[in-house]
Amino acid sequence: MRDFLKALPKAELHLHIEGTLEPELMMALAERNGVTLPYASVEEVRAAYDFEDLASFLDVYFQGMSVLHTARDFEDLAMDYFRRAAAEGVVHVEMHVDPQAHLARGVAMDTLMEGLERARRRAASELDLSTALILAFLRDRPAEEALEALEQAVPHLERLDAVGLDSAEVGHPPGKFAVVFRRAAELGLARVAHAGEEGPPAYIREALDRLDVCRVDHGVRCLEDEALVERLRAEARVLTVCPLSNLRLKVVERLEAHPLPAMLEAGLTLTLNSDDPAYFGGGMLDNFLACERAFGWSRETFTRLAGNAIEAGFMSETRRDALRERLAAMQVPPGG
């Protein structure tokens, strides 16, 4: 099964590029840029990657960002992940980037966009890896700040595929960003949003109604609202679920207790993703393997999940057709 899951052409729709920062690269970039970290070694950094909840994770997450200063840093960060992902059979990556966190440190929008664009071009030519870029807004910051960040990104519009909404969910409902998402729609950008991870099912409904999102990131608490589940199923709304992330952030105590099987049984359109792989114990292959161990899913189920991601990804139709062909070539028998 490991060989099969590694070979399966996987599209990752829910990834924070800052969350791919491995301890080794963090220390190397800190040295390059003269940044003093509260860690003396790679081992100390790894020890800090042990979280009680989303808030404690975010503390370390934003601290790690402090080593990112130049376009070269963002290029190195992205390429480091792209290489690991491609080696695991990932064929398409959609990365959220948090511009507000970088702008607040004095890093210009041009800097991060140029670095990520260089990495995207290299990924396509060196790894046959297609990519998309999602400009994510920090929901615990003012909506006016998010709108300003969006306007700063307009000169780079051709590099953007969507906008998103992330960071601390509880107490920060999606509707707060309705004006920002309307502006994104005017600019022709797709919209996605984190909802229903720690926040209530009402946040999922609000993201659909007030932000007009095409995908819901996480969404695992939808099962608490039967009418919402029916709506998600009827509209075939895609949920980008991150099982190992949910485990590490204590959304579930054991992976075996994750609502994923019930969500599948309810007929929801799901995808598997890594979220912040450096912090949460693994990339796409680890997430697929963990689900196989926890739920005993068949090859057919994993193929269907991989297909969902290919269909929902922000990519050219030419690329989508090519990935469909690669998936079909896996030749999984029904029930296999």
The residues that are catalytic are 197
Count of Cβ atoms closer than 10 Å to residue 282 Cβ: 18
102: nearest Cα among 69, 151, 150, 58: 69
Residue 68, classed as helix, strand or coil, is coil
Q: What is the dihedral sign for C-alpha 134, 140, 143, 145? A: negative
Residue 88 · residue 284 · CB < 8 Å: yes
Up-side HSE of residue 170: CA atoms within 13 Å toward CB?
Answer: 6
**C-alpha distances in angstroms, 118 versus 11, 71, 287?**
20, 9, 28
Instruction: Give me the torsion for CA of 154, 16, 120, 181, rounded to 10°.
Output: -20
Tell me if residue 200 falls in helix, strand or coil.
Answer: coil
**Tally of CB atoms within 10 A around 254:** 8
In sequence order, what are the beta bridge partners of 142? none
Q: Answer for the pair 135, 165: CB distance below 8 angstroms, yes or no.
A: no
Rounded to an integer, what distance in angstroms lies between the CA atom of residue 46 and that of residue 44?
5
CA dihedral (305, 308, 313, 316) positive or negative: positive
Q: Which two tokens stand for residue 16?
A: 């924070």
95: closest CA among 109, 110, 74? 74
d(CA 170, CA 104): 23
